[in-house]
Structure 1
Amino acid sequence: MTLRITSLTVYPIKSLRGISLNNAELTPQGIKHDRVFMLYAVKPNNKWEKMQLSHYPQCALFDQRIATIPNEGSTAGNDRNGKKSMIIVEYNPPKGSRPDEDSANKTGSKLSTVPSKLEVPLEPDISTLECVDVELHGSPASAYRMGGAYDEWFASCIGIPVVLVYIGDGKRPVLGETLDATKLKSKASSPKEEAEKPGTATRGWISSLTSYISSATTSKPKDEPAPWLTFTDVAPLLIASESSLNDVSSRLSQPASTPSPASLEVGMYKFRPNLVVAGQDVPPPAWDEDYWGELEITTREKQTEARKVTLLLTGNCVRCTSLNVDYETGRPAEGELGSVLKKLMKDRRVDKGSKWSPVFGRYASVDFDSGSEFEGEDAVKSVWVSVGDEVQVTRRIEERSVWDWPGL
């Protein structure tokens, strides 16, 4: 099946609005700089709680973009022209509120007393930062506090005490079995080929069983590093299909009282994928991605010679109330747009490992060992992909993946 990339998105600070890209550098941890920063709320008992849209919809009010500016101070993080890349964060007061009104949290904080924008170095000098222990979804890591000025700016906008942390050289372990791409590769040892229709296996059950037994008795090479994550939830990349998004939109409709009742359009941004695909000529069926095992991207890396990049699809993305957030108000949406999760609950609870949560999208990792371009000890494990690149479904799976990340 031939597809194409229709959008690429990076989220340097987790839970804030994403940044659309024309080109993206893929690394073992996903798009470079994706979710390397994260906000934690400081609770009354001084414990930190992760800030995600499901519980802190105010995060949807922040735009972020990457800019390169002159840097006259430390040379840490500078490019060869003496400039530094910064994340420019801008707070958008809830739609309908006054510019000086903290209507998101009703704390009485006056936004007019703080700058409207914040500059965050994209690659901070960690030697000057306090190291702290954090965890996300039970996966622990060392990280670095960015400092009081950053905490205070976000707290002034959101209305509660928060801290901004940077993953730096920290590494969150991948938990569970199915989301570990190195284990998936050992089980998917059959030749790559595309099935003719969704749900049709490319291997018989005997060969599948043989592959499983073989992988269970083969140990991982000692020099193969364990996979690790930044502040991405459970995998380096999230892949979504426009066909499935269209199916979601078809489930929502305008009130019957409107002159021309029609379906509402649900923005892909609500699902927060890194990479979105659509049919090159003919769109794939909605939810066909449930059965995608591998994708192969043909990229020209910014107009250089074509290369093949393999993505291993490791698991389903199970969804929460973040789908119902109104990005203009920083609150749960009203009406049909506030019922997206409920609409999906009807028939998209298809993962046996997370039977109460609907599925939209697939998690993925880049297989840097699949092509000769990446082989050898000195290989640079990164590759550029672009909007418009061709994508092939090169392996399908017989049954949907089963969620097994502990505690989620």
Structure 2
Amino acid sequence: MSKRYINMKITELYIYPIKSLGPLPVQRARLLRESVEHDRRFMLLKVQPDGAYSQSPRHDLRCYSINVLTENIQITYFPECALFHQRLDGSDIVVAYRVPSPPIFTPETPEQQTELRVPLAPKLEDRELVEVSVGLSPTIAYRMGYPYDQWFTGCFGFEAILVYIGDKGREVLAHKPRDHYLWRQQQPRQNGWISSITAHVPSLGGGGSERNKKKNEPDQLTFNDIAPFLVTSRASLRDVSKRLPKGEDMDIRRFRPNIVVDDDTGSSDSDKLVAWEEDYWGELSVTQRTGGEHRLALTANCGRCVSINVDLDKGRPSEGESGIVLKKLMADRRVDEGNKYAPVFGRYAFLAPPREGERERDDDNVVEIAVGDEIHVTKRLDYRDSWAWPKY
């Protein structure tokens, strides 16, 4: 991949306070080590009709309460999640459900015509604890209870519960930036997927020595799947839109990004952002309009699933060509040797650790960014990273 300088900027920012529900666009955001502030700190779980929480073999959806199993409600398997819209109002998340035409189920319920207010920082005392697992990384969460469970149950048409991560966290299992950087510095580049896997999995020899474990605090997540942030490119989105019939454009929200970038308006043709160029980005630098500069480490590709086929207005798989976008991307975007059956769109990112010889600053753990901030590629790879999440 040729190395060149591109004038880019952040064009959109999104957060998802309640995991898998509709995206919330914001103009400014605070990047924390574990997530964007307020991002995916709540999640929904499905309850079986007999009162036991259900278990799904489809993915890593097994979760446990005191005596029972739960199933994560994720848009991949519950496309009606797209019908829930979120906004922030002071110290609350306000959630509204929009009944599609035709409705998902009938008769409609009173909850579907009301809004629900969820405190961003609810009290934790006396709440039931629920064990939850996302991406094979477990944690303990707090059950929100009434009236939240009742409202979501009325909107979904099946019994659901809302949980909050609170003061807990989930371990990052692979693609940690410290391990990633350490491996790149210490090892010569090798061909093949084995060398890429060992770069991320300590048991196979990459990063994560006892010395580094003691030196660095454990990397944590909220209910985000793999990493704190997901970065996508408008240039790649335009390439996806070209695969659709004339007059149809792919909606970036189907890819559920946190940070969307594009080339700066007025850039010369030689400085234009090229589709799929982000496959080779190892590090980005964000220049704030206030003058500050911070780095993001991009350590893994985002392999896609059927969620990108969902009609966001109807809460169902899309009809026509937009309903087979995943299949269209299968033709030429299965480019990750470690995740061969999932087409890639976007890159997972972390706040970058200090460079060799640098001391960690207080503001390295909280970074404020905004739509319009300049963003530049400060490290490029001459190969694509390879997926190395633990198998289940």
TM-score (norm 2): 0.84
Rounded Cα–Cα distance in structure 1 between residues aligned with 2:321 and 2:272:
26
Identical columns (%):
42
Instruction: Give the AA of the match of 1:89.
Output: V
Given candidates 90, 94, 103, the residue that maps to 1:88 is: 94
Are positions 1:25 and 2:30 aligned together?
A: yes
Distance 1:316 1:382 in 2: 24
Alignment pair present for 1:234 and 2:226? yes
Structure 1 SS opposite 2:125: helix
- Any conservation in 2 of the 1:43–1:49 contact (CA below 8 Å)? no
The aligned residue for residue 286 of structure 1 is 275
Match of residue 351 from structure 1:
336
Name the structure 1 match of 2:376: 392
Residues 167/313 of structure 1: CA separation in 2 closer, same or farther (3 Å cut): same
Provide the rounded CA distance (Å) in 2 between the counterparts of 1:307 and 1:11: 26
Question: Partner residue of 1:187?
Answer: 183
Structure 1: distance between partners of 2:354 and 2:72:
34
C-alpha contact 1:5 1:390 (8 A) present in aligned 2:
yes
SS in 2 for 1:40: strand
Aligned mate of 2:345, from 348, 353, 360: 360
Aligned pairs, number = 354
- Conserved 8 A contact 1:9-1:19: yes
Match of 2:76 in 1: 54
Q: Structure 1 residues 15 and 221, CA, compared in 2 at 3 Å: closer, same or farther?
A: closer
Equivalent AA in structure 2 for residue 369 of structure 1: P
Contact 2:47/2:71 (8 A) holds in 1:
yes
Q: Separation in 2 of the partners of 1:92 and 1:224?
A: 45
Structure 1 residues 215 and 319: CA distance shift in structure 2, 3 A? closer
* SS of residue matched to 2:214: coil
**1: distance between equivalents of 2:343 and 2:48?**
30
Partner of 2:252: 268
Deviation sequence 1:88-121 (CA, Å, 0-9, x none): 0000001x24xxxxx31x3x45323665100000
> 1:251 Cα deviation (Å)?
0.5
* C-alpha deviation, 1:187, in angstroms: 2.7
Whether the aligned pair in 1 keeps the contact of 2:302 and 2:347 (CA below 8 Å) is: yes
Equivalent position SS for 1:9: strand
- C-alpha deviation, 1:373, in angstroms: 10
SS for the counterpart of 1:156 is: helix
Confirm or deny: 8 A CA contact 1:290 1:400 kept in the other structure: yes
* Distance of 1:371 and 1:384 partners within structure 2: 23
Instruction: List alignment gaps of at least 5 residues for structure 1.
Output: 69-84, 98-102, 191-202, 254-261
Greater Cα radius of gyration, structure 1 or 2: 1
Counterparts of 1:284-323 in structure 2 under 5 Å? 284-300=273-289, 304=290, 306-323=291-308
Cα-to-partner distance string for 1:344-375 (whole Å, 9 max, x where unaligned): 01000011111111000000001253599983
Equivalent residue of 2:350, what SS? strand
Task: Flag the 1:265–1:380 CA change in 2: closer, same or farther, 3 A.
Answer: closer
8 A contact 2:336–2:344 mirrored in 1: yes
Alpha-carbon spacing, 1:205–1:403, altered in 2? closer, same or farther (3 Å): closer
Root-mean-square deviation (CA), in Å? Answer: 2.5
User: Aligned to 2:87, which of 65, 77, 88?
Assistant: 65
Give 1:398 shift.
1.9
Give the residue type in structure 1 aligned to 2:74: Q
Deviates more, 1:379-388 or 1:392-401: 379-388
Q: After the TM superposition, which residues 100-111 of structure 1 pair with which residues of structure 2 at under 5 Å, given as runs? A: 103-104=103-104, 106=105, 108-111=106-109
Q: Displacement of 1:135 after TM fit?
A: 0.8
Distance 1:133 1:374 in 2: 36
Tell me the secondary structure at the aligned position of residue 220 of structure 1: helix
How far is the alpha carbon of 1:185 from its aligned partner?
A: 2.2
Amino acid at match of 2:171: P
Amino acid at match of 1:285: V
Residue aligning to 1:169: 167
Corresponding residue to 1:125 among 123, 126, 144: 123
Task: Compute the displacement of 1:30 (Å).
Answer: 2.4
Provide the C-alpha distance between the structure 1 equivalents of 2:132 and 2:156, rounded to a whole number of angstroms.
21
Decide which moves more: 386-395 or 365-374.
365-374
Q: State the distance in 1 between where 2:180 and 2:93 align.
A: 35
Amino acid at match of 2:98: N
In structure 2, the gaps of 5 or more residues are 54-68, 200-204
Q: C-alpha offsets along residues 10-62 of structure 1, whole Å, 9 cap, x if unaligned? A: 11001111111111111101210110001111135422111111100010001
* 119-128 or 289-298: bigger deviation: 119-128
Cα deviation 1:380-399 (Å, max 9, x = unaligned): 72021111111110111121
Quick one: distance in 1 between partners of 2:314 and 2:140?
33
Alpha-carbon distance in 2 for matches of 1:63, 1:274? 16
- Number of the residue aligned with 2:386: 402
Alignment correspondent of 1:195? none
